[in-house]
Amino acid sequence: MPLSQDTLRFIREHRCDDVRSLALQARRYPSVDMPAAITQISGWQIAKEKIPAWAENEHILYPAHLSLEQCSSQATAQYKAEIITNLLHTEQEHPAQNSTPASAGTFTDLTGGFGIDCAYLSSRFGHATYVERQETLCQIAAHNFPVLGLNHISVCHADSVRHLQEMEPVDCIFIDPARRDGHGGKTVAIGDCEPDIAALEELLLRKARHVLVKLSPMLDLTLALNDLKHVHQAHIVSVGNECKELLLLLGQGEGVPADDIPIHCVNFTGVPAPQALVFTRRQEKERACPYTPQLKSYLYEPNASVLKAGAFRSLSSLYKVEKLHPNSHLYTSGHFLPDFPGRKFRITSSCGFGKKEVKEMLAAEKKANLTVRNFPATVAELRKRLKLAEGGGTYLFATTLADEKKVLIRCQATG
């Protein structure tokens, strides 16, 4: 899919422009393949935020918008590579008879897509195979991998399941099944995905010692851990406090009991080290979680990965914080906890919902960031009642305490 020099020059000169405006100017540039140029410009604009390392390489070709929207970000692709790196490092420290050094190992990505996951994961292996059923994506990958110096990756245009059935065994497989959501229902189970990992689990593990599965964050984690028999680790990955991926690491041999599988909750916030918490469902069941009707100096809101995992008792136990109510999912402490996996606030005041006390507490406020947790009103309804615009440096939480009292908590972000 070569592009003419005129089209390439147009892309370089206009890559920061509004693509909708460019589309209306096609007649002004008869020597430019405008649809192709717009695809590349739009792709670069997305990649600049999502995959900055690739956006710096002007020779990268980008696919249609949907493939870019669905692909992993650079942060989440690097995180997957870290999972495999740590796994291989552990194997090198405790080598098994059938283990292979990573430098000579083999890797297959059965659902290649744009290739971002394959690129980062394959760097840990001597040879890799990218498998994709869309021919256009295969052509893009065949162009991009050499441009990125990834000459050890072979591109294979094939159906993932057929390739899996026919391939030789490798050390590691990565697979990202698509959601079968054409029926309009909410995807919550592995059986709602194609290919069905539960049906393929035994075959996958006959073909690889390790299988890393990427699933939609909409999937029910408990169902997934019960449906699969060889899960060794689970990872819930958020970026900017938005849950993006559910990762399951499968391994050969006897599986880990579902209640003892380590669940890693990770949230990338833009700083080098992500927020992280690790727990098991057994620990969650056994840990204590004190509730309090008394607000302390600081308020804590768990990040999206922790909320998705349901690590509520573990949070309380590990960070020595008290929960405001079983259903509120907010915590308080008399001490500032800089490593808490979520948003952190200093409480400046609080009140009940009597008209007079609310008016007194908010007398100086014209706008605020409003959140409701376990409260009988929506943000929009409460904002209208409080007559506050959105924004500013004040944060308000409307919630319920352990004694069932409804409160409005005023805070300032900290840490």
pLDDT category at 90 given cuts 50, 70, 90 is: confident
Asked if pLDDT for residue 184 goes beyond 90, the answer is no
Say if CB 107 and CB 80 are below 8 A apart.
no
Name the token pair of 295: 């607000």
Which is higher by pLDDT, 31 or 371?
A: 371
pLDDT category at 95 given cuts 50, 70, 90 is: low
Instruction: Tell which residue, 170, 52, 176, 159, has the closest CA to residue 113.
Output: 176
What is the reported pLDDT for 186?
58
What is the reported pLDDT for 183?
45
Say if CB 372 and CB 400 are below 8 A apart.
no
CB half-sphere exposure, 109, CA atoms < 13 A: 31
- Report in angstroms the alpha-carbon separations of 143 from 106, 196, 212: 21, 30, 25
Distance between CA atoms of residues 248 and 132, nearest Å = 21
What is the reported pLDDT for 24?
87
Region 338-355: what's the mean pLDDT? Answer: 96
What is the reported pLDDT for 93?
74
Model pTM greater than 0.75?
yes
The percent of residues above 70 in pLDDT, for the chain, comes to 95
- To the nearest whole number, what is the mean pLDDT of the chain? 93
Distance between CA atoms of residues 319 and 36, nearest Å = 52
**pLDDT tens track for 323-339:** 999 999 999 999 999 99
